[in-house]
Amino acid sequence: MLLPFRHRSKLNSKIILPPLPTLWMGNIAYLDRDGVINYGSENYINSVEELVLFPKIGESIGKLRREGFRICVVTNQSPIGRELWGHENLAEIHDHLSELLLEQDSDAFLDLILYSPYAPWEGSWARKPNPGMLEAGRQILQKGSTNPEREISLFFGHNWINEFDESKSVMVGDRDVDMEAARKFGVRGIKCSPEEGLPGVLNQIFNRG
């Protein structure tokens, strides 16, 4: 099984989570990256210079965290599998992304960044529309909130059944593969416009009616 990768860390390494402004009740906002946090491109985001964030995205992520959500980015990044560039290039993009968000809002931490580096034809469980990144995100954030000093044992697919309450969690993406990953994982999916991103659907997260 081809598993997700984690930003600048081994997938099962212990995690020390940044503090939330409020008590965490288990809510997670699973966010796609391109088209949700930053403007996407048909030719990929290939460098920090090409990274352009949506207006008010830092404020939107900060608001989610102030409302008790942990933030878990789950992004397909097939340029690595296509051998266009490597993991370090992506890490630099994500470092820059994190810095820009915190410049906008001091609460806009990305608690966890997971990515699938595989090309579509590799059939990875990590690549959306499969739910592997969401499965990993729940387990890592849950363990980080209870046993932050221990490495994490991760299970996927038929080897793991989500016993946590995802009723107040959400998956935000701009594509059908994001919504299908949400459906397979069992979390509410909200599809956003790739021209507006997360800020355009923020109210839908809090207003379930």
CATH number (domain holding residue 150): 3.40.50.1000
Query: What are the beta bridge partners of residue 172?
Result: 31, 190
Q: Residue 185: how many CB atoms within 10 A of its CB?
A: 23
Candidates 32, 107, 174, 178; catalytic one:
32
What the block records as the tokens of 28 is 């997670």
| Structural domain of 65 | 5-206
Q: Which helix (H) or strand (E) holds 98?
A: helix 87-104
Give residue-wise pLDDT tens across range 144-187: 998 877 788 999 999 988 888 999 999 999 999 999 999 999 99
Q: How far apart are CA 36 and CA 32, in angstroms?
A: 6
Amino acid 170: pLDDT: 98
Contact residues for 203 (Cβ-Cβ < 8 A; gap 6+) = none
User: What mean pLDDT do residues 42-57 have?
Assistant: 98
Q: Which helix (H) or strand (E) holds 183?
A: helix 176-185
Mean pLDDT of the chain: 96
Sign (positive or negative) of CA dihedral 7, 9, 13, 14: negative
Amino acid 182: pLDDT: 98
Amino acid 140: pLDDT: 96
pLDDT band at 71 (very low <50, low <70, confident <90, very high): very high
Candidates 34, 107, 174, 178; catalytic one:
34
Hey, is 205 helix, strand or coil?
A: helix
User: What mean pLDDT do residues 15-42 have?
Assistant: 96
Q: Which helix (H) or strand (E) holds 72?
A: strand 70-76
What end-to-end distance do the CA atoms of the chain give, in Å? Answer: 38
Q: How far apart are CA 166 and CA 111, in angstroms?
A: 17
Smallest Cα–Cα separation from 76: which of 18, 28, 36, 17? 36
Q: What percent of the chain has pLDDT over 90?
A: 90
Contact residues for 1 (Cβ-Cβ < 8 A; gap 6+) = 125, 132, 156, 157
Give residue-wise pLDDT tens across range 102-131: 999 999 999 999 999 999 999 999 999 999
Say yes or no to pLDDT of 22 above 90.
Answer: yes
Distance, CA of 87 to chain centre:
17
H helices, E strands: number in the chain = 5, 6
Hey, is 58 helix, strand or coil?
A: helix
Q: Active-site residue 178, yes or no? A: no
Say yes or no to pLDDT of 209 above 60.
Answer: no
More confident residue, 206 or 50: 50
Domain count across the chain: 1
Amino acid 198: pLDDT: 98
Q: Active-site residue 105, yes or no? A: no
Amino acid 160: pLDDT: 86
